[in-house]
Structure 1
Amino acid sequence: MGRWFPEALAAVFVVFFVALGLAPASREVWWAENIPVMAVFLFFVAASRRFRFSNPGYALMAVWLFLHTIGGHYTFANVPFGFVTDLFGFSRNHFDRLAHFTVGFYAFPLAEYLWRRRLAHPVVIAIFGITMIMAVACAYEIIEWWYAVAEGGEAGVEFLGSQGDVWDAQKDMLADTLGAVFAVGLFWLYRRRLPADAAGIAPL
């Protein structure tokens, strides 16, 4: 199973993606939310021919794909997440914050690639992994704002998903960053167990 874990995970995700693509709450929001999901998924499927990440790397990347697909189906502000809201006494639906946290998980495969290719010192890899996620998070918030302004109406509001919080973008970026810090911490603990790269170079 370990050898075929990425393929099995990809197959499960495809079924999940198709199922949640049926009758979404808003087709406009579904397209806006899932274009990045499809792009990321197809990129890593194509890239797997040249570089195969570790199973933990693929597992971490899949978390965001699954959560973002759920958010695209319901719209993030309306995902059935009330049990968490009630449990902690939140005033808003924080499913989007959870999804943003998992964006940071992509720091792990980024660090893994640099580590196995011996492209940088481990400290540089860790810092780069975090700052790269921060840059992507900032760019995505700008794209969200642009789409909300251009689309307008209910679809624009649902895609933005701020739920009335004027600091929503900053909090989302913080969640992305914290997720990256968590992922880099996992990488640091796991790095010596990573497989040799395609050239047969063993980890440092």
Structure 2
Amino acid sequence: MKKAILMIQLLIFIGVLIWSGIHPIKRSIWFFESLPAVLLILVLLLTYKRFPLTSLSYWVVFIGTIIMLIGSHYTYGGVPLFHTAKKMFHLKRNHFDRFGHIFQGMIYTALIREYFIRTKFLNREKSLFLIAGLLSVSICSLYEIFEFGVGSFFDNSLQNFLGYQGDIFDPYWDIISAIIGTTIILCLGKVQNQQIKTLNPKKPTAKKSAPRLQPN
């Protein structure tokens, strides 16, 4: 991926981060919901020279972290655009959090899959499909538990922090949304494989010349 595009993505991220921190709905929710996005971007910046990623991974991370910042500003249940869609289509809830969890699954799967392939941790496509998918969903499930723990300890309005919107099955739907995101990336495996090949081109090996016969 061209450095100019990455720089534009980074500048947009910084701009949205600053905007998200200006008069958010609740400061504690903004802090805990935006923190994972900031940490992820910092890790990618620190590892860029040693381990640059594919375009697919960078775009998924970029879009996913922007979604996190928007959710941290409005809360996931209060994003205006999706609230308008809720009224327009007579939906029972604001579905922005579902959208966010789809990208959560996409981020984890894209990064895990790429790391496994490039470090040759797994070479078999079937094993890669299964393990990368299961690991991604496991991380998403653990994040749900972590989110519940943080919300219970720090925030009095737990419903707003977790974005339940009155749905007791919300965590299960979040995990299902993450599974959808995981499946999308696994279906784009060939695209990611091709981009990985361009990052790690095989060096041409020098052909060995045939031994010359010595004259008698």
Q: Is contact 2:101–2:178 with CA below 8 Å preserved after alignment?
A: yes
How much has 1:201 moved relative to structure 2?
4.4
1:92-111 deviation digits (Å, cap 9, x = unpaired):
01100000000111212321
Paired amino acid for 1:100: H
**CA RMSD, aligned part only?**
1.9
Counterpart residue number, 2:52: 52
Paired amino acid for 2:112: L
Of 132, 136, 150, 2:135 maps to 132
User: What pairs with 1:54-93 in structure 2 (closer than 5 Å)?
Assistant: 54-80=54-80, 81-93=82-94
Q: Secondary structure at the match of 1:76?
A: coil
Q: Is contact 1:77–1:158 with CA below 8 Å preserved after alignment?
A: yes
Segments of 4+ moved more than 3 angstroms: 195-198
Is 1:186–2:163 an aligned residue pair?
A: no
Q: Is contact 1:115–1:122 with CA below 8 Å preserved after alignment?
A: no
How much has 1:196 moved relative to structure 2?
4.4
User: What pairs with 1:1-204 in structure 2 (closer than 5 Å)?
Assistant: 2-80=2-80, 81-106=82-107, 107-120=109-122, 121-154=124-157, 156-197=158-199, 201=202
- Which consecutive unaligned segments of at least 5 residues does structure 1 have? none
Q: Which moved more, 1:7-16 or 1:79-88?
A: 79-88
Q: Name which structure has the greater RCO, CA cutoff 8 Å, separation 6+.
A: 1
Cα pair distance change 1:35/1:190, threshold 3 Å: closer
Q: Is contact 2:25–2:73 with CA below 8 Å preserved after alignment?
A: yes
Q: Which moved more, 1:65-74 or 1:186-195?
A: 186-195
TM-score (norm 1): 0.89
1:118-164 deviation digits (Å, cap 9, x = unpaired):
3212222222221111111111111121122212422x321111111
Cα pair distance change 1:8/1:195, threshold 3 Å: farther
How much has 1:29 moved relative to structure 2?
0.8
Q: Secondary structure at the match of 2:188?
A: helix
1:144-188 deviation digits (Å, cap 9, x = unpaired):
21122212422x321111111111101101101110110111123
Paired amino acid for 2:28: E
How much has 1:56 moved relative to structure 2?
1.8
Q: Is contact 2:29–2:72 with CA below 8 Å preserved after alignment?
A: yes
